[in-house]
Amino acid sequence: MPLNESYADVAIIGGGIVGASVAYHLALMKAGKIVLLERENLLATGSTGRCAGGFRYQFSTGINIRLSLESVRMILSFAQEVNWPIDIHQDGYLFLLTTPDEVTAFKKNIALQNRLGVPSQYLSVQEMRELAPHINFDRVLGGSYCPWDGIGDPNGMTQGYAAGARRLGVEIRTDAAATGLRTAGSRIEGVETNGGFLPCGAVVNAAGPHAREIAAWSGVDLPVYPQRRHVYTTAPFDGAPQNFLMVIDFATTFYCHRESGGILMGMGNPDEPTSFNLGVDPHFLDQLLEIALARYPALSNAHVSRAWAGLYEMTPDAHPVLGRGGAIENLYLANGFSGHGYQHAPIVGKLIAEEIVLGAARTLDISSLRLERFKNATPRELNVV
C-alpha cells in the first residue's frame, strides 16, 4: 500500500534496537496501527549494529542504575518472552582505577549501587589478579566489579523485537527514509518520507545520532550530538581470556573482552570532534595499541582482524532524553543514550509505550530525563565508556 493511502496511530522513526523495542511494546499494549520507518534496507545497521554489546549496572547516577535494574532483567528473560534465541555472557565488568580521585568516586558509586540492590564491590589489586590474570595491573590502585554485568546480542535482540512486533501486527518498512515532519500548531500531522506522506497520531523519534535533525523538523531543539567510536577485533591468539569479563581502564577508557577466541577492544578519543564520520582512522589504532599492549601484554601475539567505527549519541549530561518532546504534544523522544542505548533499550521501549498509551510512564519515574531538564544544571553520568 502506498504511504499516502495509509495511516499510523504511531509512526516510529529509526529501526535500531530502541525503535524495535518501542514498536514491540506498543503492540503489546495494543496501541493501534504502528509503522516503523527505517531508511536502510535492513534493521540494526546503524549504532546498534556497530556497538560493543555490553550491559551493566555500574553507573554513577540513580536513574541510570534503575534503568539497568529494569532493562537487564528484560535482557536476561528476552529469549523466553520474545521466543527468540540470543547470546548472553554474564561474567561481569571490571573497572581499573589508577588515581585516588577515581577510587573515591567509584567507592561512592558502589555505595549507591549497593543501596539500590546491585552487588558491585571494590576489589584490591590481588583480588583483581585472580579475576583477570591476563591483565597488567601496573599503577592500578583498585577496581570496581559487578558480576551481574555482561555481554549481550544487540543485533539478535533487534531482530527478535522486530519479529515479535510483526507477529503483533506492526508494519516495518525498510528503505523508508523520513525526510520531514508536517506540523500544525503544537501537533505533528504526519511524516514526510521518500515514499510519500504518512499521516499519524503520534511520532516516536528513535533515530539514534540523527535524532537532533528529526526533532528540529518540528521546531524542537534536542541536544544530541554524534561522536565516533572505534572498535577492533583480533583473530584467536595465545593468551586470550577464557571468559567474557569486560575489563575497562577507566582513565584511558580502553576496554576489552573475549570475542570468538580473540578479543574485542576499543577506546574513546578525547580529541574526536562531533561528526557523522564512520570512516576508520588508521592512525587511531596506534594510539589504542600503545595503551592496550601496556595493559594486556599478550596482545603482542595477536593481530587485528577487523575494524569499524560507530556513533555514540551524546547529550550534555550523558543521560537519555525520554518522553514527550517539549511543546509538541504528540512527539515522543527516545534519544541521547550516550553509549548505553543497547542495554537500556528494553525498558525504554516499555516506558515510551506507557507514555503514549497510558499518558505517563508507570514502570519507572523518568521525570528527570525530560527534555526540559537542560534549562537547569543536571548531574552528569561519569561512567561513560
Q: What is the pLDDT of residues 232-273, one digit of tens each?
A: 999 999 999 999 999 999 999 999 999 999 999 999 888 889
CB atoms within 10 A of CB 107: 13
Query: Residue 5: what pLDDT?
Result: 52
Predicted pLDDT at 328: 97
Cell of 140: 592500578
Taking the model in full, what pTM does it have?
0.96
Pairing of strands 246-249, 196-199: unpaired
Grid cell in block for residue 8: 499510523
Sign for the CA dihedral angle at 199, 205, 210, 211 comes to positive
Q: How many whole angstroms separate alpha carbon 117 and alpha carbon 62?
A: 11
Residue ranges in the chain whose pLDDT is less than 50: 1-4
Burial of 375 (0-12, 13-18, 19+ CB in 10 A): exposed
Polymer length of the chain: 385
Residue 270: which residues within 8 A CB-CB, separation 6 or more? none
Structural domains present in the chain = 3-51+154-222+317-375 (3.50.50.60), 90-149+225-314 (3.30.9.10)
CA distance 44 to 196: 23
CA distances from 290 to 246, 297, 299 (A): 19, 10, 11
DSSP annotation string for 297-325: GGGGG--EEEEEEEEEEE-TTS--EEEE-
